[in-house]
A = this chain, B = another copy of it.
């Protein structure tokens, strides 16, 4: 049901078309909830039927139709009751970790690649989100500005605080992932130092050519 409330939330900043929302779900809001236009358009219809939003048909240029939706008072009430619910935490589904815990079937090299990709992914993410946080902090962020319009200074500060917390938390998560993966890479190095010959026996776990490994078990014993 969160898609519904993400839409209501976005519309509580300013009226938008389905297209606008789809962009939002790909960019700003997309850091917290993703959705594609094929999910958004039907949901907008349902929301309008339920009276939570209101659409007006406008035209761009000569013929191009555009449906602008605004949130209704009922919609606001529904959104408020959503944010007032105690937070719910969906079941864990982390494909990256599933890969990692079963990667003992592959090689140290593979895990290294995995962790390096992890670092790159979260560095990218952090580097994209940091400027957004900055622009919120110093009042340049356009969509936040819209949300602030017509509100008292105290309310404005509250809105900004919450956004900073959300983006700040996301960036911290990214930084944790980077630090974790880098430490993991060092732990891998350490492992390879301790079991030097295993690194070459990459396929050892996959097929039964564990001869090479067995051959060097004495090395393991010596080093351990």
Contacts and interface: CB of A to CB of B under 8 A. Distances in A.
Interface residues of A, number: 88
A76 B105 CA distance: 8
Q: Can you tell how many copies of this chain the complex includes?
A: 2
A206 B161 CA distance: 18
A154 B216 CA distance: 10
Interface stretch (A40-48, A49-57, A58-66, A86-94): A86-94
A6 interface: yes
B180 A169 contact: yes
Contacts of A9: 98, 101-102
Interface of A: 2, 5-6, 8-9, 12, 30-34, 76-77, 79-80, 82-106, 108, 110-111, 113-114, 117-118, 121, 147, 151-155, 157-159, 161-163, 165-166, 168-170, 172-173, 176, 180, 184, 187-188, 191, 194-195, 197-198, 204-206, 210, 213-214, 216-217, 220-221, 224
Given A76-B206, A94-B32, A97-B166, A104 B158 contact: yes
Contacts of A118: 87
11 contacts: A9-B101, A32-B98, A80-B106, A83-B99, A87-B121, A100-B166, A104-B155, A104-B159, A153-B195, A153-B217, A172-B176
